[in-house]
Structure 1
Amino acid sequence: MRISHPGRVVYPQVGITKLDLAHYAIAVAEPFLAANGDRPVSLQRFRDTIDGEQFFSKNPPRGTPDYVRDVTVVYPSARSHPQLVLDEPASIVWAVQMGTVVFHPWASRAEDSDNPDQLRIDLDPQPGTDFSDAIPAATELRAVLAEAGLDAFVKTSGNRGLHVFAPIRPEHEFLDVRHAVIAAARELERRMPDAVTTAWWKEERGEKIFVDFNQANRDRTMAGAYSPRALAHASVSAPVTWDELESVDPHDFTVLTMPQRLADAGDPWADFGAHPGSIDVLLSWWRRDTENGLGELPFPPDFPKMPGEPPRVQPSKKVDANWDAAGNRVDEA
């Protein structure tokens, strides 16, 4: 694979070049593909440095080599398009050659893209909180998922938060998995009401850890394991063990340090997927909560209006008289 402009500096603050990113891709290829391969993937690409213009690639661009395949997926709009899939080290290097910095894999496999085989929960620190506040939330979330019969794994987001994943059997489509995530999030919120929130609107979150349930939706992704992030210090979304989580500093995991960490300690997610679980218990919690008056939560603004969804308006700007019980504007009902 020929790397054009190999000396182009992608991370100005730490001097990491495009060729350095290609070498990183090769060094972490095995665990990277174990985590992100055989999945529809969106590529976050940069024309120059991470401080410059960026865009997302989902469809195969012109000139995509034969060893980079694609799969047709259905988006929330109900339209279908081919999306890239990475299967081998050369495909990761090709993506770097195309200016990719961040890799965003789907929660489902290419062969069954409608049914996720991963339950993903994003713990996002809000203003006034930081990474250290996400750690106890992640630990308690692990306990919640264990009670539901799921084996949880954790990684840094590469920024301020944590991502908690659980391998699941691909028996349910995205909406069901979203409901399972909401059920787990609400249970976590009950146990840590002063530290955790499921409030979608920022004005209602306070200084808490937001459990971003909307990352469980179709075509919603987060940076994959071992993916670089477009941050000045070239951080990486790093899988960690639960035992080391209390002492983790996410700034320690970078494009420059991760290859040596893997060489010294191996992949903490090496057995991810060995024992996929069921979301049936979480779905029973969802049904229980629904019967008790806790219904659907807001969807992202680009999604079609969904059944049972509350009004898509900031609570502070909502005029009750303008909305019906189904969350539709009265003049649209």
Structure 2
Amino acid sequence: MASKAIELTVGERTVRVSNPDKMYFPDRGITKRQVVEYYIAVAEPLLGVLRDRPTTLKRFVDGVTGEAFYQKRLPKGAPDWVETARITFPSGRPADEVCPTEPAVLAWAANLGTFDFHPWPVRRPDVDHPDELRVDLDPQPGTDFTDAVKVAGVLREVLADAGLTGYPKTSGGRGIHVLVRIRSEWDFIQVRHAVIGLAREVENRIPDLATTAWWKEERGERVFLDFNQAARDRTIASAWSVRGTPRATVSMPLTWAQLSDVDPDDFDVLTVPDLLAAHGDAHSGIDQEAFGLETLLEWYEKDGRGEMPYPPDYPKMPGEPKRVQPSRARPDTE
């Protein structure tokens, strides 16, 4: 039987929470209301991440045991105080995405079953020039979080050699995300090339631990540096986002010193608000300096290997190699 709706005061708004006792994470006994209240508790640092960014909502309307979907357009019936930003997909089609500007938007989205917030690496009004470089370290079968930490340590060294400062966070699973604030002077293709140049340099230094191979059959038991997360319309779960795991884990911002001493399962809906209150936001300084991509783009050009495959739903891109896995490739394959 559905529980009676409640109303929560969030800033200057009143947010209605329907069926607040609905079980979202059965293994932990975490309800919809607890997820909404979690997002209210972390609203300040989360809005620092999301504010003015077009944001895709990953919704689990039946909780973690149900099917999830990505909400890429403003949902029907949204309050008039939920703002939007217009973006263009690789296909050329436009969309008006949610653009969070205040805590009530987070609570409203959580009431819709949103676990993850997936912001674009851009802000209004310039949505074609990213202000954030993102590196996704994705452990492949046979590797784990410990391996990702090792690769992240080398990534940090490579970033420093390029004059950049990165900010790490857990993905909420086995992986690690590293964020770099950049000047919004380059388009999506250039930023993707910069990530490829960066990833190839990491791979060159630790080829037994890290790979840029797009095709899974070539990755082996290594950590994949997913350069295509820098492509237009590709996003990662934001810091502070709840992930669709049985434990209700959270993508947690960390310092580099903390990264090697944590278990990603330590960060969840129940623990993170107290950790934030006690220790603050490890990424609070990310906006203090925006960096340039000149060195990474030089590495990309000097490497000589050029473009890498784009995701399969993209139109064929200039200079892109054959979009077919190597074991199935034929000389005439396009």
Question: TM-score interval w.r.t. the shorter chain?
Answer: over 0.9
What is the identity, as a one-letter code, of the residue corresponding to 1:313?
Answer: V
What RMSD in Å do the two structures reach over aligned CA positions? 0.8
Give 2:4's aligned residue: none
Alpha-carbon distance between aligned partners in 1 of 2:61 and 2:139, rounded to the nearest angstrom: 30
Per-residue deviation, 1:59: 1.1
Alpha-carbon distance between aligned partners in 1 of 2:262 and 2:203, rounded to the nearest angstrom: 24
**2:26 aligned with 1:15:** no
Equivalent of 1:27 in 41, 59, 65 = 41
Equivalent of 1:311 in 302, 317, 322 = 322
**2:177 aligned with 1:163:** yes
Contact 1:36 1:225 in 2 (8 A): no
**2:57 aligned with 1:46:** no
**2:280 aligned with 1:266:** yes
Per-residue deviation, 1:114: 0.6
Alpha-carbon distance between aligned partners in 2 of 1:203 and 1:295, rounded to the nearest angstrom: 21
**2:129 aligned with 1:118:** no
Alpha-carbon distance between aligned partners in 2 of 1:185 and 1:138, rounded to the nearest angstrom: 11
Secondary structure of the equivalent of 1:184?
helix
Alpha-carbon distance between aligned partners in 2 of 1:313 and 1:287, rounded to the nearest angstrom: 24
Give 1:296's aligned residue: 307
Alpha-carbon distance between aligned partners in 2 of 1:194 and 1:48, rounded to the nearest angstrom: 41
**2:220 aligned with 1:220:** no
Give 1:281's aligned residue: 295
Per-residue deviation, 1:113: 0.9
**2:262 aligned with 1:248:** yes
Give 1:64's aligned residue: 78
Gaps of 5+ in 2: 1-14
Per-residue deviation, 1:47: 2.1
Contact 2:63 2:113 in 1 (8 A): no
What is the identity, as a one-letter code, of the residue corresponding to 1:228?
Answer: V
**2:253 aligned with 1:239:** yes
Equivalent of 1:132 in 146, 150, 162 = 146
Equivalent of 1:147 in 161, 181, 198 = 161
Per-residue deviation, 1:144: 0.7
Gaps of 5+ in 1: 329-333
Query: Aligned residues: percent identity?
Result: 52
Per-residue deviation, 1:35: 1.2
What is the identity, as a one-letter code, of the residue corresponding to 1:21?
Answer: V
The Cα offsets for residues 105-124 of structure 1, whole Å up to 9 and x where unpaired, read as: 11111221111100000000
Alpha-carbon distance between aligned partners in 1 of 2:127 and 2:153, rounded to the nearest angstrom: 30
**2:220 aligned with 1:206:** yes
| Alignment TM-score, normalising by the size of structure 1 | 0.95
The Cα offsets for residues 284-321 of structure 1, whole Å up to 9 and x where unpaired, read as: 1111113xxx110000000000111111111011122x
List structure 1 runs of 4+ shifted beyond 4 angstroms: none
Give 2:3's aligned residue: none
Alpha-carbon distance between aligned partners in 2 of 1:191 and 1:84, rounded to the nearest angstrom: 40
What is the identity, as a one-letter code, of the residue corresponding to 1:300?
Answer: P
Secondary structure of the equivalent of 1:247?
coil
Alpha-carbon distance between aligned partners in 1 of 2:73 and 2:259, rounded to the nearest angstrom: 36
| Alignment TM-score, normalising by the size of structure 2 | 0.94
Equivalent of 2:194 in 168, 180, 183 = 180
The Cα offsets for residues 43-77 of structure 1, whole Å up to 9 and x where unpaired, read as: 01122121112211121111111221011111111
What is the identity, as a one-letter code, of the residue corresponding to 2:256?
Answer: W
Alpha-carbon distance between aligned partners in 1 of 2:275 and 2:302, rounded to the nearest angstrom: 44
- Shifted more, 294-303 versus 101-110: the winner is 101-110
Alpha-carbon distance between aligned partners in 2 of 1:219 and 1:68, rounded to the nearest angstrom: 21
The Cα offsets for residues 154-175 of structure 1, whole Å up to 9 and x where unpaired, read as: 0000000000110000000100
Secondary structure of the equivalent of 1:81?
strand
Alpha-carbon distance between aligned partners in 2 of 1:42 and 1:251, rounded to the nearest angstrom: 24
Alpha-carbon distance between aligned partners in 1 of 2:209 and 2:181, rounded to the nearest angstrom: 26
Alpha-carbon distance between aligned partners in 1 of 2:81 and 2:153, rounded to the nearest angstrom: 40
Secondary structure of the equivalent of 1:61?
coil
Per-residue deviation, 1:127: 0.5
